[in-house]
């Protein structure tokens, strides 16, 4: 919670409050707290225990984050321990609603958090890295061992700290095309870039090679070697 340091003017959205261990502390620090919980029984208990908190029974993958509005002089912060099974869809929903959010501190499965924050050049770097980092500064702030939980899970966790950028890291003429190109490039990451793009986008191999060359990218490279700027230029050419 100290990563985002909620204050009296801030609105905090907590995803998955569970029994409310963190929720009460958030309520003491923040001006307003909205907690999203999918379990109806937990919702009832939390509403009884924490009357100052807005407990919403909702699926965090589909909740309307984009409708959030920052209080006067404050920020919109999102915190939560995301369920491993739906962590990535929730993260993508938050990134999609980025214009309504200032900062996030999210606990995820360690491998997912590291993938989001990974730089180009390694096997961990992928579409999740690019599609998050185009809009956010991302870092793994804390690794959490299984023993920190009861019962302990079989995997390690990590806290991902995201600061939403005021504008995309690179100007995008067509965000949907950019996303499609990135996903196609990593869809068959063992293939050379041009082959992966041709297969993923349904274009000819010659067109994919020509677009890469025009963008200043060697068609024989692998997707994990491309920077965000190179992906953006490639999307413009395709």
Q: Any idea what DSSP says for residue 204?
A: -
The bridge status of strand 32-37 relative to strand 11-15 is parallel
Q: Report the alpha-carbon distance of residue 82 to residue 35 in Å, rounded.
A: 13
Final residue of a structural domain among 139, 164, 189: 164
* 129 and 206 inside one domain: no
Say which CATH number the domain at 191 has.
1.10.8.100
- Taking each helix axis from N to C end, the angle separating 228-237 and 205-214, rounded to the nearest 10 degrees, works out to 120
3-state SS class at 83? coil
pTM to 2 decimals?
0.92
| pLDDT tens figures, 197-236 | 999 999 999 999 999 999 999 999 999 999 999 999 999 9
Could you give the percent of the chain with pLDDT greater than 70?
98
Q: Given a cut of 70, is residue 148 above it in pLDDT?
A: no
* 109 and 29 inside one domain: yes
Residue 128 lies in a domain: yes
| pLDDT tens figures, 153-168 | 778 899 999 999 999 9
* 129 and 46 inside one domain: yes
Q: Quote the strand ranges of 82-213, DSSP E.
A: 103-109, 136-144, 157-164
* 106 and 154 inside one domain: yes
Boundaries of domain holding 130: 11-164
CB 104 within 8 A of CB 165: no
Residue 3 lies in a domain: no
* 154 and 182 inside one domain: no
Torsion region of 18: left, alpha or beta (phi above 0 gives left; psi -120 to 50 gives alpha): left
């Amino acid at each position: 919670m100290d990563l985002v340091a909620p204050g009296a003017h801030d609105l905090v959205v907590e995803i998955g409050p569970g029994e409310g261990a963190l929720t009460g502390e958030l309520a003491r620090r923040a001006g307003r707290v909205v907690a999203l919980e999918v379990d109806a029984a937990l919702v009832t208990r939390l509403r009884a225990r924490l009357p100052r908190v807005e407990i919403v029974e909702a699926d965090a993958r589909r909740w309307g984050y984009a409708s959030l509005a920052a209080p006067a002089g404050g920020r919109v912060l999102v915190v939560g321990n995301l369920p491993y099974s739906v962590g990535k869809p929730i993260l993508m929903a938050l990134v999609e609603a980025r214009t309504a959010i200032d900062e996030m501190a999210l606990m995820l499965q360690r491998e997912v958090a590291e993938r989001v924050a990974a730089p180009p050049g390694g096997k961990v770097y992928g579409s999740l890295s690019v599609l998050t980092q185009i809009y956010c500064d991302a870092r793994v702030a804390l690794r959490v061992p299984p023993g920190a939980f009861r019962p302990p899970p079989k995997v390690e966790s990590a806290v991902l700290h995201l600061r939403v950028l005021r504008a995309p890291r690179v100007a995008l003429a067509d965000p949907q095309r950019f996303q499609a190109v990135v996903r196609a490039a990593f869809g068959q990451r063992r293939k050379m870039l041009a082959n992966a793009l041709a297969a993923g986008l349904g274009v000819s191999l010659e067109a994919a090679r020509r677009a890469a060359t025009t963008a200043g990218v060697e068609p024989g490279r692998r997707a994990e070697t491309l920077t965000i700027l190179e992906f953006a230029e490639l999307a413009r050419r395709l």
